[in-house]
Amino acid sequence: MTDGLRWGILATGGIARLFTNDLRLNGFDVRAAGSRSLESAESFASDFDIPTAYGSYDELVADPDVDVVYVATPHPWHAETALLAIEAGKHVLVEKPFTLTQGEARMVADAARERGVLVLEAMWTRYLPHMVRIREIIEAGTLGDVRSLIADHTQKLPDDPAHRLNALELGGGALLDLGIYPVSFAWDLFGDPTSIQSTAVFRSTGADAQVAVQFGYEDGRIASTFSASDVKGPNSATVLGTDARIDIDPVWYSATSFRVVAHDGHVLEEFRSDVDGRGMHFQAAALERLVAEGRLDGGDVLSTEESVGIMGTLDRIRAEIGLRYPGED
């Protein structure tokens, strides 16, 4: 099923567990796990039958039996740890958001290009079967001229000020953790927005709890996104065209179903996903294919340069709502 790359897992938190479980379920070769704590790395490695555990990130990226490193640290350390792996000559899949800022994203992208390795943002949603089919439907012209996107990612998450999602020093907030999904979807459909209008509600910690964004484009298209960490909404999405629309069921950014609906209400197509695990392995397989093909630009689904551009959009939203992280100039 894979092209034979050997994976190393850098950081052993919740998202790393979900990703590694999908790799294991689908036959990928996971060789090592690394954490700042050897005890944590050994526990993680034991849980997933991984042969080698390291008590430092430096040891993990130096392992000659690791070809590609999955970076699962909190946002503020994405750039630092991705650069560590790149310098060691490893390909990198780095959790979304790609980095904390566009400046960091540019450094990571440039370093990968100079070192001759592939670096991808782990926006696994784009590689799921229903998203692949949606792009095919749009390309075929079934929707007519696609004019609008409406998408939310909203969760009722802990109010604890010390929780990672509420701590600015950890890159906490709804936009980068949740809003990245619909923002990336808007980029997937329409590219770089020409105008951005946004508003936000903040927690007592200064982290953003709700962010509503409207993107405008030169051709008159519009995308509306909403992210929140203090309320749970439908987590659905709709793509609107001049001839038909696509209604994506909850949870739209995970393996799910959708319907193509004509303006008279007739269902033109219904799609249902059949996926083992969460489906995060589809992007891992794509990374392996890209490396085998020598496509170190990231390919057509999500290029490295597009991830840099998306970070620029997130920077613009943050500037508009007045959100800054500790240490920013």
Domain region containing 118: 6-123+280-298
Residue 186 lies in a domain: yes
Give the domain CATH number at 99.
3.40.50.720
CA gap 99, 176 in Å, rounded? 9
Residue 49 lies in a domain: yes
Whether residue 7 is predicted with pLDDT greater than 80 in this model: the reply is yes
Residue 239 lies in a domain: yes
**Residue 327 — very low, low, confident or very high, per pLDDT cuts 50/70/90?**
confident
Regarding whether 317 and 180 lie in a shared domain, the answer is yes
What pLDDT, on the 0 to 100 scale, is given for residue 66?
98
Regarding whether 72 and 46 lie in a shared domain, the answer is yes
Query: Could you tell me how many residues make up the chain?
Result: 329
Residue 329 lies in a domain: no
Regarding whether 154 and 258 lie in a shared domain, the answer is yes
Q: For the segment 138-149, what is each residue's pLDDT rounded down to a tens digit?
A: 999 999 999 999
What pLDDT, on the 0 to 100 scale, is given for residue 329?
63
Cβ-count burial of 4 within 10 angstroms (0-12 exposed, 13-18 middle, 19+ buried)?
A: exposed
Query: Domain tally for the chain?
Result: 2
**Residue 1 — very low, low, confident or very high, per pLDDT cuts 50/70/90?**
very low
Residues with catalytic roles: 96
Residue 55 lies in a domain: yes
Residue 303 lies in a domain: no
CA gap 281, 129 in Å, rounded? 11
Regarding whether 151 and 115 lie in a shared domain, the answer is no
Regarding whether 95 and 24 lie in a shared domain, the answer is yes
CA gap 308, 311 in Å, rounded? 5
Q: For the segment 170-217, what is each residue's pLDDT rounded down to a tens digit?
A: 999 999 999 999 999 999 999 999 999 999 999 999 999 999 999 999
68 - beta bridge partners?
Answer: 7, 91
The fraction of the chain above a pLDDT of 70, given in percent, is 99
Regarding whether 270 and 168 lie in a shared domain, the answer is yes
**Residue 258 — very low, low, confident or very high, per pLDDT cuts 50/70/90?**
very high
Residue 66 lies in a domain: yes
Q: For the segment 34-64, what is each residue's pLDDT rounded down to a tens digit?
A: 999 999 999 999 999 999 999 999 999 999 9
Q: For the segment 58-105, what is each residue's pLDDT rounded down to a tens digit?
A: 999 999 999 999 999 999 999 999 999 999 999 999 999 999 999 999
Regarding whether 223 and 172 lie in a shared domain, the answer is yes
What pLDDT, on the 0 to 100 scale, is given for residue 2?
41
Residue 168 lies in a domain: yes
The fraction of the chain above a pLDDT of 90, given in percent, is 97
Three-state helix/strand/coil letters over the chain: CCCCCEEEEECCCHHHHHHHHHHHHCCCEEEEEECCCHHHHHHHHHHCCCCEEECCHHHHHHCCCCCEEEECCCHHHHHHHHHHHHHCCCEEEEECCCCCCHHHHHHHHHHHHHHCCCEEEECHHHHCHHHHHHHHHHHHCCCCCEEEEEEEEECECCCCCCCHHHCHHHCCCHHHHHHHHHHHHHHHHHCCCCEEEEEEEECCCCCEEEEEEEEECCCCCEEEEEEECECCCCCCEEEEECCEEEEECCCCCCCCCEEEEECCCCEEEEECCCCCCCCCHHHHHHHHHHHHHCCCCCCCCCCHHHHHHHHHHHHHHHHHHCCCCCCCC
Regarding whether 108 and 70 lie in a shared domain, the answer is yes
Regarding whether 96 and 233 lie in a shared domain, the answer is no
Regarding whether 229 and 144 lie in a shared domain, the answer is yes
CB 244 within 8 A of CB 142: yes
Regarding whether 237 and 181 lie in a shared domain, the answer is yes
What pLDDT, on the 0 to 100 scale, is given for residue 139?
98
pTM for this predicted structure: 0.96
Regarding whether 168 and 317 lie in a shared domain, the answer is yes
CA gap 7, 67 in Å, rounded? 6
Whether residue 328 is predicted with pLDDT greater than 90 in this model: the reply is no
Question: CA 107, 110, 112: angle at the middle one, nearest 5?
Answer: 105
Give the domain CATH number at 235.
3.30.360.10
